[in-house]
Structure 1
Amino acid sequence: MRTREAPRPAPVSTGAGTAAPARRGAAWWVPVSVAVLVVTVLVAVTIGPADLSVGDVWRSIAGHLGLGGALGLEPLGALQDGMVWQLRLPRILTAAAVGAGLAVCGVVMQSLTRNPLADPYLLGLSSGASLGAVLVLVVGWTVLLPVAAFGGAVLALVAALGLAGAIGTITPTRTVLAGLAVSQLAAAATSFVIFWSATGDSYREILSWLMGSVAGATWTSVAVAGIATLVLGTLLASTGSVLDAFTFGDTAASALGVNVPRVRWLLLVGVALLTGALVSQSGSIGFVGLILPHAVRMLTGARHRLLLPLSALFGASFLVWADTLARTVFAPRELPVGIVTAAIGAPVFALLLWRGRRIA
């Protein structure tokens, strides 16, 4: 007996949860974005009160990598070298790693939930991390802040998925609603802890962390954020074909051979682990994982094989420049970088919604 083949849904051109073909020439954005990121890092290090040039930055990096003699470069002065290697470069590399990781997580969350408003914090990860961080800050155990923030994010994920599973089969809608409930509960607990326990200067420290900041980044921060992004971010970015299958729904993904429950769990756990690691080093930085995927889709289309790496590269450059603005616009005072990303992200997201009004 011949069976009738189910009609394939027609691809659409933009938006989360679509399977649009890549735009012509979109692959050229990869080398361009890599070059932009390299230039961004080198130039951003030179911006500030100290008189530095790109050549000085290169001399410092080459010297610490043991390449100065081989390249015939003179050593940089101790003061300038400390400014580059100990202060600015760790901060900028941390911002780049955090921006790349959040952007990748945003793409994955928008595809898994088929929700264009999804971001890495959708399942209460940010609120859970904030609760863990605030608990150690109010008691003065700042050395445990990264561990507490990471643990809070993971516990929030477990609570959200557990609640969604208790309701019934884990679906995108139930997952989002469960995440919203966990997020509000953790946010309320965070506010209670601050109201009940925070005194003196701890308010400022807590507020700075909650708004997001990489001001205190060290090479340890670079290692944590960088390794997490390279390992977990690369694994997530390699799931492009699987995420393409999810764009037409769970039934279509199953028909294509995807074990939907297992893959969804694995991807959500991967997003939670990466987000927890990043938030533990930078605090809660909003809009990066929300607007970057949408912006990149407008340039390249929605095929995840190209969308994921490009979102990472653009996210890295975006957060480096946002942090550069945060530390220079009101110098010598600094803004939390989360304020800058919100100030840029909100109008940009509104513009993206306005441009996509014909598709909605």
Structure 2
Amino acid sequence: MSRVIRYAIVLALCLLTAPALADRLKDLTRVQGVRDNQLVGYGLVVGLSGTGDSAPFTNQTFKNMMSQFGVTLPPGTDPDTENIAAVTVTADLPPFAKRGQEIDITVSSIGNAESLRGGSLLMTPLKGADGQVYAMAQGNLVVGGFGASGEDGSSITVNVPSVGRIPGGATVEQEVTSPFSQGDTITLNLLRPDFTTARRVVETINGKLGPDMAYAQDATSVAVKAPRDASQRVSFLSVLENLQVEPADEAAKVVINSRTGTIVVGQEVKVSPAAVTHGNLTVVVEENPEVEQPNALAGGETAVEQNTQILTEQEPSRMFKFGPAVTLNQIVQAVNQVGAAPGDVMAVLEALKQSGALRAELIVI
């Protein structure tokens, strides 16, 4: 047998044995305790071209900053803050971030500043939920929006000029303790809780790594025995997160976006036998005022007589029938035959749900 034929047979066997629509554990789960931490800070942006704010707290912050540098303003002095803006600084501290690493930050105006374009953020401490400082932020802003105005009061604004970003604008000053290397187990949390998926994850891990290596705690969490040594645990998790698992089928759902008219019907949605009729009643009100000219010799006045016409039109209703255990394709075909608009389809689906014929969860967002 030639080498090419042997490779073809091996490839065919791999394709046949690969699970259908399988996903990596990396895409289905997250390791418990390995998470981002939100940081927030308050600071000043300087160097603006007259687009700053005039909020009282901006003046107070500016005076406090000047006093820290040994500059004392005379009593009653109200500094001009057109080139200064008070801002909030937010960032996400990634897991395992080390001291000296840089993270991106977002700077947002909290006053009435028109734009932060061209500004520079002064050194701002970023704190976590526990009140401790975990990073220091400073740098020049990158603002995507802009605005322009004329002397007559007309103006135009593109995007949001009062928000900017600084890539790598904060330096990590303190590390967050992670429970990753603690204990005898690693817990994997499913992104979408499901009992069937949790069972399949356990079966896949035990089938690859040995019996009793994993067990499901509930529909979300799967505990896996792991080595205590940190380096071995990293290698172990690298193998673990690349295992292929076929997730369970989603529950039958129909999602309706009432604002945009978008309707999403899941694959598992079915309809019990039902007959549906739906029509629209259209009412049109027309105003046709008529002007009457009086006889000039009689000395009358011109009058306007209102002539209102109300027309009512009922579109013919077409009844269509759903058979038992209808598939998604048949549901789409039945609705398309009626030619219903998205709003009409919403009304039909809601009526089917109330009658008990729609065997799915109806979600309106």
TM-score normalised to structure 1 length: 0.19
Bigger strand fraction: 2
TM-score normalised to structure 2 length: 0.19
Bigger helix fraction: 1
Q: Which has the larger radius of gyration?
A: 2
